[in-house]
Chain A
Amino acid sequence: MALEEAKFRQVTIDAVHLDLGPLSGVVAEALLFSYQIACNGTPLEGSRLVIREVPIEVYCPACKTRKTLTSMQWFYCPTCGVPASEVIHGKELMITGLEVRDERRTTLAGSA
């Protein structure tokens, strides 16, 4: 699992914020461990990986609304019990933010 953000050359990255869903197929501890290794020798060396775990949200066809599941082993609406396999959230493996410090080009507008 490799995470690169090499295009932000003008800044120092202190931390990478990541949304992680239980259905991403990636386990947080494994990711944290491999992150350190993957960052060694790159501009990201010494940065932190901040993981926000996203709960599984499904669409319930009976309630006609989104519901948060309490277990990834039970894909049924927690309110009405109807099968709910349409996943809206929970597959995320998404970088959501970077904590940065400008080093040289202080006049450069950083936000995209």
Chain B
Amino acid sequence: MNAEPRLLEVRKNVLKQNDQIARVLRDRFRNDGIFVVSLVSSPGAGKTAFLEKMLTFLRCKYRVAALVGDLATENDAVRLARSLAPVRQINTGTLCHLEAAMVERALNGWEIGPLDFLFIENVGNLVCPSSYDLGENLRLVLLSVTEGEDKPLKYPTIFNSADVAIITKIDLARAVEFDEAGLRANIQAVRPGMHCYSVSAKTNFGLQEVLQFFVDRRSEFPQLDPALRSGL
């Protein structure tokens, strides 16, 4: 019996399975012409209010839908359904983030027809979602003016994994003595060149700019011949 210890060299990405599913999803979204935007934030940053407005405005001209990850309740989905866009809830149970496989499962068997935009609202958490690619084209990180200007320095990883920062509840900025320049500088420190928008879902301030950004990004998106879309 040989019990000599030895070192086996391996290179195995722990998140490889998620990354592979995310890649398949991304290809599928591109083939179907769906531009996918995911949202991450702390609980209470106003993600749902922001998304409700996005869906409401985009729905006038585009085919939109949303997937909402939540720990247990269905409150967010019910709220988003007010936008009249198709909304589906993903209950994550005890899991504090969405994974690509959960998105894939939620999409399979959801007969919503062709889409232009799909939004994926992640579970309220600034840590775990950063590791999981969901196949999205754009990842938004939202933070409200009440959360403190140093949030990007505390959670640099999520900012690094995201493409756009959305500062929410800007209507409260005065009341909480929010230092917008300070926050923007911290965002640029952890993610130089990051796009940053200040919005209020209450007053609609800044929402048009964000919508225009999505529409512009979608038009840069490599479009296939509609006849080749797998949905047809």
B128 at the interface (CB under 8 A from A): yes
- Residues of B within 8 Å of A84, CB to CB, are 192
Which among B12, B152, B153, B158 is the interface contact of A94 at CB below 8 angstroms? Answer: B12
Which residue of chain B has the shortest Cβ distance to A105 in the bound complex?
Answer: B2
User: Can you list 12 A-B contacts (CB < 8 A)?
Assistant: A18-B14, A23-B156, A25-B131, A25-B157, A73-B156, A75-B160, A75-B191, A93-B131, A99-B6, A100-B8, A101-B6, A103-B1
Pair B14/A73 contact, Cβ less than 8 Å: no
Q: How far is the CA of A75 from the CA of B192 in the complex (A)?
A: 7
| Complex Cα gap A24–B192 (Å) | 19
Give the distance to chain A from B1, nearest Cβ to Cβ, in Å: 7
- Chain B residues with CB under 8 Å of chain A are 1-15, 127-131, 152-153, 156-158, 160-161, 188-193
- Which of A87, A96, A99 touches B11 (beta carbons < 8 Å)? A96
Tell me if A97 counts as interface (CB < 8 A to partner B): yes
Residue of B nearest to A30 (CB): B127
Look across to chain B and name the residue whose beta carbon is closest to the beta carbon of A26: B131
Residues of chain B lying within 8 A (CB to CB) of residue A110: 6, 8
Chain A 3-44 per-residue mask, 1 if CB under 8 angstroms from chain B, else 0: 101001001001001100011111000000000000000000
A: number of interface residues (CB 8 Å): 38
User: In the complex, what residues of B have CB within 8 A of residue A112's CB?
Assistant: 8, 10
How many residue-residue contacts, CB under 8 A, span A and B? 102
Residues of B within 8 A of A111 (CB): 8-9
In the bound complex, do residue B15 and residue A98 qualify as a contact, i.e. CB atoms below 8 Å apart?
Answer: no
Hey, which bits of chain A sit against chain B, CB under 8 A? 1, 3, 5, 8, 11, 14, 17-18, 22-26, 72-76, 83-85, 87, 93-104, 106, 110-112
Contact A96–B157 (Cβ < 8 Å): no
Q: Are B3 and A101 in contact (CB under 8 A)?
A: yes
User: Complex Cα distance A97/B189, Å?
Assistant: 35
From the candidates B3, B7, B153, B192, name the one contacting A98 in the complex (CB within 8 A): B7
Among the listed A85, A98, A101, A106, which residue makes an inter-chain contact with B10, where contact means beta carbons less than 8 Å apart? Answer: A98
Residues of chain B with a CB closer than 8 A to A11's CB: 8
Partner of A100, one of B6, B157, B193: B6
Identify the closest chain A residue to B2 (Cβ).
A106
Q: Which of B5, B156, B160 contacts A101 (CB 8 A)?
A: B5
* A86 to B156 CA separation, bound complex (whole angstroms): 14
With contacts A17-B7, A94-B12 known, what are 13 further pairs, Cβ within 8 A?
Answer: A11-B8, A24-B157, A25-B129, A25-B130, A25-B157, A25-B161, A72-B156, A75-B189, A75-B192, A87-B160, A95-B10, A103-B1, A111-B8
